[in-house]
Amino acid sequence: MSFTPHTPEDIALMLNSIGIDSVEQLFDEIPSAIRIEGLPDLADGINEMAMGREIKKISAGNKNLLNFIGAGAYQHHIPSAVWQLAGRGELLTAYTPYQAEASQGSLQIIFEFQTMIASLCGMDVANASMYDGASALAESILMAVRANKKTTSKKIVIADSIHPCYLNVMNSITRYQGIEIQCVETDRYNDVNTLKSAAHESFAAVVLPQPNFLGQLTRVDAITDWAHQHHALVIGLVNPVTLGLLKEPGSWGARGADIVCGEGQPLGVPLAGGGPYFGFMACKKQFIRQMPGRIVGKTTDTNGKTGYCLTLQAREQHIRRSKATSNICTNQGLLMTVATIYMSLLGPQGLKNVAIKSHQNTARLIELLNTVKQVHCVYADNFCHEMVIQVPSSAKSVLKKMADRGVAGGYDLATLGQAWADKLLVCSTEVHNENDLQQFITVLKTAIEDV
């Protein structure tokens, strides 16, 4: 079933033309000591109908729950047009747009994406996307260290209220380049005073999550100004949907953030078990040459007609090799296309409404939670669309009981340490209606009684 068109006659004609008798002769330069004959420990192939049956059986092992988990991946309504358009073969099966004249569709979409993302972030420019949010942050950190000419420090200051997996990924990717990450314990506002006390020496950049991992809103203005006074760059780590409502990083403090990145998944990408998603990255114009990843620019053809092409390729690995800004040699083209279509369909007001509705649903959930005995809203204000609740037993056992009743009740904060083992991170978005919220409450009550 290898989707090959060759008839026996084709093969005979081709062998004859090459001047050999059998296809095996084509492999006669491989030393015989290491040759194998096929892949006997893999089963033979099956046709599409049999595969359809097989995959139905396998996918039955997946149970879809009414979802209240966020923690870095957010469920939003995805307009039907988004994936029907992105799924067109001309977009789905196209290669990276190196041959610009044959890729004007993909290239113009990237240009439109860059415009939308830069504007959403309040930045001058954006790239064509990164692998995901965490890797985009790791690349932003490496970029900030290269871009900050006012200090030789390779230290990055980060509030501990960042997603724990982002910290892990950041360490994995940046550790070999002498980057020192200082994780600072802060209060829920990431108040500037908590950071001040920790950062004594000079540092290259500070990472500001907005909202932070616990769904809380950072006091971005004061920290941005403080970091700039210390000649450090500010990296904003943001959720793009909430930027319909929240102040864009370019307007944080007096001078605005310098680099902005985040997880793009909320913009039309399904939860899909964790991927593929995409990261985004935007910055002030003066840092563009330090930015990794694909960037598309507008130009003209030999007739003076407008067209688009990849640009600033001198930063990239296929030209600069070991001196490149990163080894990255792709973006997440399809997901970025999805986000561009999503943002077009939502528009400025639609995106703002999604953010507001998600916030209002979360507020309504808090209201309803106040009626549940033994449950305490740890942060009942200063939230965007995610909040922390405390339950009377371990979060793990409550979540298990809730899942048995068809509700994914939240993220188990035990990953942050024992003190958090009775706390859940709960998210509501515009996809929930009043019935869904009531169901969450009912199931939570039963789960607590059961445990």
Partner 1 sequence: MLIFEKSVQGRAAQAQSPHLQKDAVRIDSSLLRQTKPCLPEVSELETVRHFTNLSRKNFSIDTNFYPLGSCTMKYNPRAAHQFASDEKFLNQHPYIDDDYKQGTLQCLYELQHTIKSVTGMTAVSLTPMAGAQGEFAGVAMIRAYHDERGDKQREEIIVPDAAHGTNPATAFMCGYKVREVATLSDSGDVDLTALKAVLSEKTAGIMLTNPSTLGVFERKIKEIADLTHEAGGLLYYDGANLNAIMGKVRPGDMGFDVMHLNLHKTFATPHGGGGPGAGPVAANSKLAKYLPVPVVQKTATGRYILVDETHYPHSIGKLSTFFGNTGVLIRAYIYAKMLGGNGLTQASTLATLNANYLMTALHKAGFTLAYPQRRASHEFIITLEPEHKIYGITALDVAKCLLDRGIHAPTMYFPLLVAECLLIEPTETESKQQLDEFVDAMIAIRQMMIENAEQLKQAPQKLPVTRLDEVKAAKTLDLVWSE
Residues of this chain, 261-280, that bind partner 1 according to CB under 8 A: 263, 270-278
For partner 1, the binding residues in 68-107 under the rule CB under 8 A are: 69, 71-73, 75, 77, 79, 81, 83, 85, 87-97, 99-106
Instruction: Name residues contacting partner 1, limited to 315-374 (CB under 8 A).
Output: 316-324, 326-335, 337, 340-341, 343-354, 356-357, 359-360, 363
Question: How do 279-283 and 125-126 pair as beta strands?
Answer: antiparallel
**Class of residue 271 by CB neighbours under 10 A (exposed 0-12, middle 13-18, buried 19+):** middle
Binding segment toward partner 1, per CB under 8 A, in 54-62, 144-152, 368-376, 437-445: 54-62
**In whole angstroms, how close is the CB of 340 to partner 1 at the nearest point?**
8
Q: How many residues bind partner 1 (CB under 8 A)?
A: 199
- Is the N-terminal amide bond of 79 cis, ω within 30° of 0? no
Among 202, 251, 439, 446, binds partner 1 (CB under 8 A): 251
CA distance 31 to 39: 18
The whole-angstrom separation of Cα 220 and Cα 199 is 17
Query: Whose Cβ is closer to partner 1: residue 166's or residue 440's?
Result: 166
Q: How many Cβ atoms from other residues are within 10 Å of residue 414's Cβ?
A: 16
Q: Which pair of tokens denotes residue 19?
A: 């001047």
Taking CB under 8 A as the rule, which mask of x and - marks residues 114-133 in contact with partner 1? xxx-xxx-x-xxx-xx-xxx
Q: Binding segment for partner 1 among 23-31, 143-151, 370-378, 435-443 (CB under 8 A)?
A: 23-31
CB of 216 to partner 1, least distance (A): 11
Q: How far is the CB of 144 from partner 1 (least distance, A)?
A: 16
Phi/psi for 397 (5° steps) reads -70, -35
Q: Which region, judged by CB under 8 A, interacts with partner 1, from 41-49, 196-204, 225-233, 387-395? A: 41-49
Per rule CB under 8 A, is residue 152 in the interface with partner 1? no
**Which letter, b or e, does each residue of 426-448 get, where b requires 16 or more Cβ atoms within 10 Å of its Cβ?**
bbbbbbbeeebbebbeebbeebb
State which of residues 30, 197, 370, 374 lies at the interface with partner 1 (CB under 8 A): 30
Q: Can you tell me the distance from the alpha carbon of 21 to that of 6, in angstroms, rounded to the nearest whole number?
A: 16
| Structure tokens given for 370 | 């106040």
**Binding flag, residue 8, partner 1 (CB under 8 A):** no
Provide φ and ψ at 395, rounded to 5°: -60, -35
| Residue 435 touches partner 1, criterion: CB under 8 A | no
**235 touching partner 1, by CB under 8 A:** no
- By CB atoms closer than 10 A (0-12, 13-18, 19+), residue 449 is exposed
> Is residue 161 a contact residue for partner 1 (CB under 8 A)?
no
Residue 451 within binding range of partner 1, rule CB under 8 A:
no
Verify binding: residue 149, partner 1, rule CB under 8 A: no
What angle in degrees, to the nearest 10, is found between the helix axes of 333-369 and 104-121?
30
Which is nearer to partner 1, 198 or 254 (by Cβ)? 254
